[in-house]
Amino acid sequence: MESRPSCTVDHIQNLQHLQHLQHLRSLAPIQALWPIGFVALGRFGHSTFIAGRPPRPSTARRVLQIMTKKKDTAEQAEFRRYATAWLAENAPGPPPHRIPEISIEVVEEELKDYLVDWQSQCYDAGMVGADYPSEYGGGGHDGFQAVANQEMGRARTPYMINVVGLNMAAPTILQHGTEEQKRRYIKPILSAEEIWCQGFSEPNAGSDLASLTASAVRDGDTWTINGHKVWTSLAHFAKWMIMMCRTDTQVKHAGITYFLVPIADTPGVTVRPLIKITGQSGFNEVLFDDVVVDDAARLDEVGKGWDVAMTTLLHERGAAESAGGGGNHRLEERVHALIALAKRTPRGAGTAWDDAAIRDRIVQLVIRAEGIKQNGRRARVEALCDDPMRLPLQMKVLISELMQDLSALGVEIAGAHSTLYVGDPNAPDEAEWPLSFMNSFGMTIAAGTSEVQRNILGERILGLAKSK
């Protein structure tokens, strides 16, 4: 029998394009295990643009080489020694507040300052931006960032606060920006001097992102922007927004243009916090009322915005690297915390851990967590992967759904005590379980919902007919 679905030409071209973009992603420092580590490629499930891309075999081959590379080069080995030593010396002290699971949830000013400080130290030490060209503020190396990521993961140091900047804005600007834009924006992203946010989603454009309506109208050398962006993470700290606007209402995808918009202290921009399901603030809505920006704020050509955004969204996805590289310790910690909870929660004559039904369900999650880790490992072994994108594209769904099931089981095990919420002195683990259960829906919704991710997997990997 055939071991793989026979691929259409489009299918193959898509994958090659994905591989190319995946390579670009390796420029980014490691991120927390979370949505924004993982992409909303989702929202491009039906893009006609993807299918039209020419194949780039040489890049695809290069990516495979990177993914399957086993040993450090001499330079990497030396850098690894340096990174390990530097991290041992410089790992930061305890944070002023509990660090949330993912960086886009950071809301306290003090915690932000602490994390900005950490990122900027890492930047100065060459642990961030290591593979970016030196003329844009990077280290100018090749293959150092992956080493830094692994070592940071191993040292369990805090994540980078400028996650949208690092994972999305910087690689997009590097690929599509003018020389001036690259010189202006990349360095302060790497050093966390300037925080970025992503203004893609709108009230009526989510999974079907290309239906967005925020408009940019040209007037000579300036553009006037009007519209409403929602669920904008980090906008409360951000100086800049990567933004998609409609510049042509006659065509859907080709009517979109990409902008780099200043949102802090800009006349006509209003940033309003949106309160999450948990009762805490987290993300925002951003309103644009006749906001005027220079034409220099445009990234790439008019009408090319969808194409540019593809670069951005592909970087949002956690590929094999996040799983293989050490970011995984959070999952393991969560699993251990769940076992610890079960072992100290009384049930009948013993504890919840002694209850065979509970044990079984916990062990199911233990196995899923190990599975994610081993998928990440196998994704790098070419001989054990029929299709190089098959494992990486599953990561977002796997991690977000595991985190959700884990916290749901924690709630169940905590039993009556799970009714106690943040602030109650008797809440187990400071109400971590109900809190992270609620927060986990952020992971299964953001960056391409689980449903949309499954559409993509079915269409791109299995070659099934497109839903739309």
Partner 1 sequence: MSSANRQPKDFGFGEEETMLRDSARRLLSDAAGVETLRRTVAPDHTAAYESETQPAPWDEALWRKMVGLGWTAVAATEDAGGAAMKMVAVAALAEEAGRAALPSPLIATLLATRVLGKAAGAGAIAAAERIVAGTATSLAITDKRGSWEPGDTSVAARATDYGYELDGSAYFVQDARKAGQFIVSARVKGDVGGGGISDGAGGLGLFRVDATQPGLEIIPDQIVDLTRDQAHLELGGVEVAADCVIAAPGEGEQVLAAATADMLTIVAADMCGAAEWQLQTTVEYARVRTQFDRPLGFFQAVKHPLVNMMIDIDRARSLVYNAACACDSEPEQAERYARMAKAAASDAAAFCSSRSVQLHGGIGFTWECDVHLWFKRQLHNQVYLGDAAYQRAKLADLIDRD
Ligand X SMILES: Cc1cc2nc3c(=O)[nH]c(=O)nc-3n(C[C@H](O)[C@H](O)[C@H](O)COP(=O)(O)OP(=O)(O)OC[C@H]3O[C@@H](n4cnc5c(N)ncnc54)[C@H](O)[C@@H]3O)c2cc1C
Residues found near partner 1 in the complex (CB under 8 A):
1-5, 68, 70, 332, 335-336, 339, 356, 359-360, 362-364, 366-375, 377-378, 380-381, 383-384, 390-391, 394, 397-398, 451, 454-455, 457-459, 461-467
Helices 356-378, 395-414: inter-axial angle, 10-degree rounding: 160
Q: Does 198 bind ligand X (CB under 6 A)?
A: yes
List the single partner that 357 binds among partner 1, ligand X, none, CB under 5 to 8 Å by kind: none
Site string for ligand X, 204-233 (x = CB under 6 A): --xx-----------------------xxx
Q: Which string of b and e fits 76-104 if b means at least 16 CB within 10 Å? A: beebbebbeebbeeeeeeeeeeebbbbbb
Distances (CA, A) of 421 to 274, 328, 341: 20, 27, 16
| Interacting residue with ligand X among 86, 136, 185, 200 (CB under 6 A) | 200
Stretch that binds ligand X, among 188-196, 261-269, 307-315, 450-458 (CB under 6 A): 450-458
Tokens for 235? Answer: 């906008």
User: Which lies closer to ligand X via its Cβ, residue 150 or residue 232?
Assistant: 232
User: Which lies closer to ligand X via its Cβ, residue 73 or residue 211?
Assistant: 211
Catalytic residue of the set 151, 285, 316, 432: 316
User: Which lies closer to partner 1 via its Cβ, residue 41 or residue 260?
Assistant: 41
User: Which lies closer to partner 1 via its Cβ, residue 188 or residue 376?
Assistant: 376
| Interacting residue with ligand X among 100, 403, 449, 461 (CB under 6 A) | 449
Helices (H) and strands (E) in the chain, counts: 16, 10
List the single partner that 452 binds among ligand X, partner 1, none, CB under 5 to 8 Å by kind: ligand X
| Interacting residue with ligand X among 135, 294, 382, 451 (CB under 6 A) | 451
Backbone conformation region of residue 99, classed left if phi is above 0, alpha if psi is from -120 to 50, else beta: beta
User: Nearest to residue 239, comparing CAs of 286, 274, 279?
Assistant: 286
Indicate the helix (H) or strand (E) that contains 289.
Answer: strand 281-294
User: Nearest to residue 89, comparing CAs of 151, 27, 163?
Assistant: 151
Q: Which string of b and e fits 195-221 if b means at least 16 CB within 10 Å? A: bbbbbbbbeebbbebbebebbbeeeee
| Interacting residue with ligand X among 224, 445, 457, 458 (CB under 6 A) | 445
CB 255 within 8 A of CB 247: yes
Distances (CA, A) of 418 to 79, 194, 351, 434: 46, 39, 16, 6
Q: Does 43 bind ligand X (CB under 6 A)?
A: yes
| Interacting residue with ligand X among 283, 288, 353, 437 (CB under 6 A) | 283
User: Which lies closer to ligand X via its Cβ, residue 21 or residue 241?
Assistant: 241
Q: Does 452 bind ligand X (CB under 6 A)?
A: yes
List the single partner that 377 binds among ligand X, partner 1, none, CB under 5 to 8 Å by kind: partner 1
CA distance 351 to 286: 48
CA distance 349 to 354: 9
Stretch that binds ligand X, among 254-262, 326-334, 429-437, 440-448 (CB under 6 A): 440-448
CA distance 418 to 432: 9
Q: Which phi and psi angles does 154 have, rounded to 5°?
A: -65, -40
Q: How far is the CB of 333 from ligand X (least distance, A)?
A: 21
Q: Does 237 bind ligand X (CB under 6 A)?
A: no
List the single partner that 461 binds among partner 1, ligand X, none, CB under 5 to 8 Å by kind: partner 1
Stretch that binds ligand X, among 84-92, 131-139, 410-418, 451-459 (CB under 6 A): 451-459
Backbone conformation region of residue 2, classed left if phi is above 0, alpha if psi is from -120 to 50, else beta: beta
**355 alpha-carbon distance from chain centroid:** 37
List the single partner that 70 binds among partner 1, ligand X, none, CB under 5 to 8 Å by kind: partner 1
Q: How far is the CB of 339 from ligand X (least distance, A)?
A: 27
180 is catalytic: no
- Which spans in 316-458 are helix H? 320-324, 329-344, 356-378, 395-414, 432-445, 450-456
Q: Which residue has the tokens 């997009």?
A: 172
User: Which lies closer to ligand X via its Cβ, residue 76 or residue 233?
Assistant: 233
List the single partner that 233 binds among ligand X, partner 1, none, CB under 5 to 8 Å by kind: ligand X
Indicate the helix (H) or strand (E) that contains 293.
Answer: strand 281-294
Binding site for ligand X (CB under 6 A): 40, 43, 197-201, 206-207, 231-233, 283, 442, 445-447, 449, 451-452, 455, 467-468
Residues annotated as catalytic (active site), given as ranges:
316
